[in-house]
Amino acid sequence: MTIGFMGDIVGKPAREIISSRLNELKEKFDIDFIIGNYENASHGFGLTEKNAIELFGTGIDMMSGGNHSFDKKEIIGMFDKYPLIRPLNYPKAMPGKGIFKTTLLGHDIAVINIMGHYTMPMADNPFITANDVVDELINEGVKHIIIDIHAEASSEKQALLHILKDKVSAILGTHTHVGSDDLQIFDGCCFITDVGLTGCRDGVIGMDKKAPIKRFLTGVGEYFDVPTDCKAILQMIIFTLDENGRCSEAKKIKCYDAEDIVITHSRVELS
């Protein structure tokens, strides 16, 4: 099976380029299932129901979240209506689930959303939580396990790789919005520290550059805004899993507006 994973979807420019390019990518790369991260999808902060319907209409199959999952309070009623998850290690009293399960091409698959510790909201230990739930899934016979680790610190993401690489199919980093250059298949586990945003590429982490520049120069903060007119990028990891849930091939694609697709192939790493 072939899976497509998009990192942070940031605002209207992201939704527009996904709408214009995703079906083309799905056909070109024969993608069976597409995952996206919704936490910045509605003007940079959270997800509205209107935008959820819009994104699922583009061909996205399910979406994971992060520290902005609850910025739009209407999402509380959306978890039972749509294939949406939020970080598993949020306190148990929080609405929603941190695991999505389905059957694809005759195989049970699970997508887990985990949030890191550094600079993030209060949450349970991500490493213990992820390890415990992965063991539970393996005991249930699930071999195809994909993790979205939404974290600021690259060290947390890389540590999770070494903890779980023999147990899961893919560990894909989100949150920083800046794509990293370390896509690899490590002992059969697809890994990248950060996929990178989909949205405006000519601002600051997908936002209009005026507010962050003013903050850096003066120390005075302003509301971050998503530009209405910008140069856009769509970034996606596409990876293929065998019947045992091990990754056999992975690549990163970048679409710049309506231009050609840039493809970077993974390195195969063995311990």
Q: How far apart are CA 200 and CA 196, in angstroms?
A: 11
- Which of 38, 44, 72 shows the shortest CA–CA distance to 56? 38
Q: What is the token pair recorded at 226?
A: 């998503």
CB neighbour list of residue 76: distance below 8 Å, 6 or more residues apart:
70, 95, 96
Asked if residue 183 lies in contact with residue 157, where contact means CB atoms within 8 angstroms, the answer is: no
Is 68 designated active site?
yes
Q: Which helix (H) or strand (E) holds 25?
A: helix 11-28
Active site residue: 68, 144, 150, 177, which one?
68
Separation of alpha carbons 50 and 259, rounded Å = 28
The residues carrying an active-site annotation are: 68
